[in-house]
Homo-oligomer: A and B are copies of this chain.
Amino acid sequence: MKYAQEDAVEKATILFWKKGFQGSGMRDIQQALDMRPGSIYARFQNKEGLFKLVVEQYVAHSKDTLQSVANSDTPLLSLREFFKTALINPDELRYMRQCLLVKSITELELIGDVGKKAVLEGMVLLNKCFANIIEKAIETKELQDTTPVVFAADWLQNQFVGLRAFAILQTDNSAIEKMIDKVLYDLKTQWPSD
């Protein structure tokens, strides 16, 4: 029963990821989940309720991934692999290059308060995950211990956003890899002082 729900949310995730909140009609959702409108409303309250679950599941999954990066022996090397996996994928999965949260932020005004809250809280949570990775990388001496953790976490999250927007337009995978290298390079250099 609970499994069926997770499965439905997963299918909805693909749809929202591809088409956005506004762009995904209830009839698209009905088709994707193979459920009739009444069932969807009985289970998820309404479109926004489903979207909220999608975002929460997306964030939870991202959090898990980022935590396993942080807990790796070499967090920075794992981070590089994580970037590559997220940004370089076959054509039918290209929609995944865009970050679902960032995509949602661009249409934040059109989403209700419930969905909005889920998106913004998700951003904050993932920011903490990035901070955690940086802390761990300092511990393993992959990063200098002078690295400003909180600021670098914001910066790293930014880089990820920019990279994803870049990757979605890019056909050349090696250009994406070079861009990832630049990010990791800049992460290790000096940071501007206040």
| Residues of chain A whose beta carbon lies under 8 Å from any beta carbon of chain B | 18-20, 22-23, 98, 102-103, 105-107, 109-110, 120, 123, 151, 154-155, 157-163, 165-166, 168-169, 175, 178-179, 181-182, 185-186, 189-192, 194
Would you give the shortest CB distance from A67 to chain B, in whole angstroms?
22
Q: Which residue of B lies closest to A150 (CB)?
A: B175
Query: Apart from A102-B165, A158-B162, A161-B161, what 4 extra A-B contacts exist at CB < 8 Å?
Result: A19-B109, A105-B168, A106-B106, A154-B179
In angstroms, Cα B191 to Cα A80, docked, is 17
Nearest residue, chain B, Cβ from A176: B154
In the complex, which residue of chain B has the Cβ closest to the Cβ of A163?
B158
* Contact A110-B19, Cβ < 8 Å, known A154-B175, A178-B192, A189-B186: yes
CB < 8 Å neighbour of A151 from B158, B178, B190: B178
Distance from A99 Cβ to chain B, minimum over Cβ atoms (Å)? 9
Query: A162 → chain B, closest Cβ, in Å?
Result: 3
**Provided the pairs A20-B106, A106-B98, A182-B191 are in contact, do residues A165 and B161 lie with their beta carbons within 8 angstroms?**
yes
Closest-by-CB residue of B relative to A187 is: B186
Residues of B contacting A159 with CB < 8 Å?
Answer: 162
Distance A8 CA – B41 CA, assembled complex (angstroms): 41
Instruction: Report yes or no: B189 in contact with A189, Cβ–Cβ below 8 A.
Output: yes
A to B CB contacts below 8 Å, 26 in the list = A19-B109, A22-B22, A23-B107, A102-B106, A102-B165, A103-B106, A106-B106, A107-B107, A120-B169, A123-B169, A151-B175, A154-B166, A155-B179, A155-B182, A157-B166, A158-B162, A158-B165, A159-B162, A161-B162, A161-B166, A162-B162, A178-B192, A185-B189, A185-B191, A185-B192, A186-B189
Which 7 residue pairs of A and B lie closest in terms of their CB atoms, listed nearest first? A162-B162, A158-B162, A181-B192, A186-B186, A161-B165, A161-B162, A103-B106
